[in-house]
Amino acid sequence: MESQYAELEKVKQKVFVGVSVFEGLAYTLAIDGHVYVFDKARTLIKWMNIRVERAFGCQVSEGRLFCACSDSTLRVFRTDTLQHIVTLPRPPPLGDTNMLLGVSKIKIPTN
């Protein structure tokens, strides 16, 4: 997945489901799974399709962009490059647990 320039006419017609601001940049997520990054002058800096059926919201924290997606998945990206870091697995069904003996926890890289 690589970020690209976008045609602004297409962006005007998007339905946005999440907006989060980090270090003067606005990270927006459209319902169709496109991430758009705008600067303070409202200029579109970059965009990327995160390749999901549907997106539901986003949040930025400590240089990471978290995107809530269909099928109960959560995708994590670097805010500076929009590089994909990890897709967290779906939670277990209600009443079940995914904590098995000997299974290590998922760690998100810090670099």
CATH code, domain carrying 14: 2.40.10.480
- Give, for all 111 residues of the chain, the pLDDT tens digit: 445 554 566 677 788 999 999 999 999 999 999 999 998 888 888 999 998 999 999 999 999 999 999 878 899 999 999 999 999 877 766 655 555 555 666 666 776
Q: Which domain holds residue 54?
A: 8-88
**Structural domains counted in the chain:** 1
Nearest to 66, CA basis, from 38, 51, 85, 46: 85
Model pLDDT, residue 1 = 46
In a domain, 94, yes or no: no
Which burial class, exposed, middle or buried, applies to 76 when counting CB atoms under 10 A from its CB (0-12, 13-18, 19+)?
middle
Q: Give residue 78's identity as a one-letter amino acid code.
A: R
Are the beta carbons of 36 and 44 closer than 8 angstroms? yes
Model pLDDT, residue 49 = 93
In a domain, 110, yes or no: no
In a domain, 93, yes or no: no
What's the CA gap between 71 and 26, in Å, rounded? 26
